[in-house]
Amino acid sequence: MYAVPQMQQHQPDVIFQQDGAPPHWGMIVRDFLDENFPDRWCGRGGPIPWPPRSPDITPLDFFLWEFVKNIMYKTPVPSLDELKRRIVTEIQNVTPQMLENTWREIEFRLDVLRATKGSHVQIH
């Protein structure tokens, strides 16, 4: 996790959100998060509960990966190195305004979930 030092500079403002990938459920990962983000991480088995399989309220799923994929795959990717370069470039192109818009979208989506008492809804 090369970003941990940068995130730790902003403690206690950073809450780490774990994704749902099965390799991330291991004790070694949870121990690492407990040590580096004590009581400030959410995910399976974490101190902050998070609903499983909830891409509709996970900004990496509903915003970042879609944004990155739409741009980087406009032309064929010739190599793994080029794929990595494009991912880094596109993530660096995310602006503060885009992040603010994403935060407003999360608030809206959480309001919808509260209003529907957690029912499944399609949000586009």
Break the chain into its structural domains and give their ranges.
3-49, 55-116
d(C-alpha 116, C-alpha 100), whole Å: 25
Backbone angles phi, psi at 42, to 5 degrees: -125, 145
- Before 23, cis peptide (omega within 30)? no
Amino acid identity of 124? H
d(C-alpha 85, C-alpha 87), whole Å: 6
Which tens digits make up the pLDDT trace of 5-64? 777 776 677 788 877 777 777 889 889 889 888 888 888 888 887 777 777 777 877 888
Please compute the mean of the pLDDT values over residues 62-86 and round it to a whole number.
Answer: 88
Which tens digits make up the pLDDT trace of 91-100? 899 999 998 9
